[in-house]
């Protein structure tokens, strides 16, 4: 059977860094660095420059992923870009990236599943590769959530940052067992009954019931991780790396604890990146692959939960 192998990955973070202290001072927030770090694990976030668009960041992350994979954009058959903050309502941000990369062929579209976007995009690309619709895919997560923030709302303004990450997938023949390299399983869910718990208002500002989102995140991530283990037959101790969506350190720790994984086997970037929505998983993947933590042949478990609610997980042999 066909497996989607991750050939390479790349990341991009805007140059401007905003620490908790700088944010509090700049916006006059009734908050503290200590409160933010203790409740979320966040120390700082990157903020896109004025005029810096999602497609700009996505193009940089995609270029880095192509370079890491050692392939040319001309051999890419499909681009799936997960974003909640496209440059325009239409056309899709993905086609801008396609043009920026100098591509003249292939197909390209966006996916909107908020913070679960990258896992959704990865699953859709995997499906296309396994169906024979494409041989090589670029899967990108990119968001400028700083543009959806009511900076006076201390419950949300401290949580988010901007960035982009990307992976290159290639279809290769596998044996259909968990010994194969590539995406071994992917699991997606949505429950629109919780639409109002995390959404944008009429001014396009993020509004969130933080406690309820937290409660659902812990429960949904726990069940989807169980589902991924059951589907692959892998035991928690066989997971080399948990690379979760970075929304809150306490949610990440909860999933790690459930799996019995020591903190050293969980890739956590939230302190430096904050919640970058669809970009957070590919940013974390690129960080841990490039610093030598994630090695070829290891088992990586991805999980994410976002507005909708949407949530999902994927198991990958790197």
Provide the annotated active-site residues. 115, 245, 275
Question: In this structure, what token pair is assigned to residue 276?
Answer: 């970058």
CA distance linking residue 122 with residue 93, whole number of Å? 17
Between 5 and 283, CB nearer to ligand ACO = 283
Between 155 and 236, CB nearer to ligand ACO = 155
Q: How far is the CB of 64 from ligand ACO (least distance, A)?
A: 24
Between 55 and 157, CB nearer to ligand ACO = 157
Alpha helices in the chain (DSSP H): 20-27, 33-40, 54-69, 93-100, 117-130, 154-157, 210-232, 249-259, 270-273, 280-290
Between 36 and 294, CB nearer to ligand ACO = 36
Q: How far is the CB of 277 from ligand ACO (least distance, A)?
A: 5
Binding residues for ligand ACO (CB under 6 A): 31, 35-36, 39-40, 114-115, 154-155, 158, 198, 210-211, 213-214, 217, 247-248, 251, 275, 277, 306-307
Q: How far is the CB of 223 from ligand ACO (least distance, A)?
A: 16
Q: How far is the CB of 269 from ligand ACO (least distance, A)?
A: 15
124-162 in b/e form (b: 16+ CB < 10 A) is bbbebbbeeebbbbbbbbbbbbbebbbeebbebbbbbbb
Q: How far is the CB of 210 from ligand ACO (least distance, A)?
A: 3
CA distance linking residue 116 with residue 217, whole number of Å? 11
Between 207 and 290, CB nearer to ligand ACO = 207
Between 33 and 240, CB nearer to ligand ACO = 33
Contact of 144 with 200, CB cutoff 8 Å: no
CB under 8 Å to 40, separation ≥6 — which residues? 158, 159, 248, 249, 250, 270, 274
Q: How far is the CB of 246 from ligand ACO (least distance, A)?
A: 9
Ranked by CB distance to ligand ACO, the top (closest) residue is 210
CA distance linking residue 104 with residue 46, whole number of Å? 32
CA distance linking residue 43 with residue 309, whole number of Å? 26
Contact of 263 with 286, CB cutoff 8 Å: no
Distance of alpha carbon 102 from the chain centroid = 25
Among 236, 217, 214, 239, which Cα is nearest to 226's? 236
């Amino acid at each position: 059977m066909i497996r989607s192998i991750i050939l390479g990955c790349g990341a991009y973070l805007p140059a401007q860094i905003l620490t908790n202290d700088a944010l509090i001072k700049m916006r006059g927030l009734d908050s503290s660095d200590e409160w933010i770090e203790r409740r979320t694990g966040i120390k700082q976030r990157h903020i896109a420059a004025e005029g810096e668009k999602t497609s700009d960041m996505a193009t940089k992350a995609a270029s880095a992923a192509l370079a890491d994979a050692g392939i040319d954009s001309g051999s890419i058959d499909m681009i799936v870009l997960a974003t909640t903050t496209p440059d325009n309502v239409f056309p899709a941000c993905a086609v801008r990236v396609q043009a920026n990369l100098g591509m003249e062929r292939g197909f390209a579209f966006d996916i909107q599943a908020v913070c679960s976007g990258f896992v959704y995009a990865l699953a859709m690309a995997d499906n296309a590769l396994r169906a024979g619709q494409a041989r090589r895919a670029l899967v990108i997560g990119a968001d400028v959530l700083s543009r959806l923030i009511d900076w006076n709302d201390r419950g949300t303004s401290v949580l988010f940052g901007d960035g982009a990450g990307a992976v290159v997938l290639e279809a290769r023949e596998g044996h259909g067992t968990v010994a194969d390299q590539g995406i071994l399983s992917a699991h997606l869910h949505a429950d629109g009954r919780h639409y109002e718990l995390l959404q944008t208002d009429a001014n396009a500002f993020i509004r969130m019931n933080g406690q309820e989102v937290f409660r659902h995140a812990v429960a949904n991530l726990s069940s989807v991780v169980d589902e991924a283990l059951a589907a692959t037959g892998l035991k928690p101790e066989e997971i080399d790396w948990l690379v979760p969506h970075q929304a809150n350190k306490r949610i990440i720790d909860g999933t790690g604890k459930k799996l019995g994984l020591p903190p050293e086997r969980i890739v956590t970037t939230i302190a430096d990146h904050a919640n970058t929505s669809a970009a957070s998983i590919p940013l974390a993947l690129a960080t841990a692959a490039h610093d030598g933590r994630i090695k070829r042949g290891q088992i990586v478990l991805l999980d994410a939960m976002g507005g909708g609610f949407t949530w999902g997980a994927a198991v990958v042999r790197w």
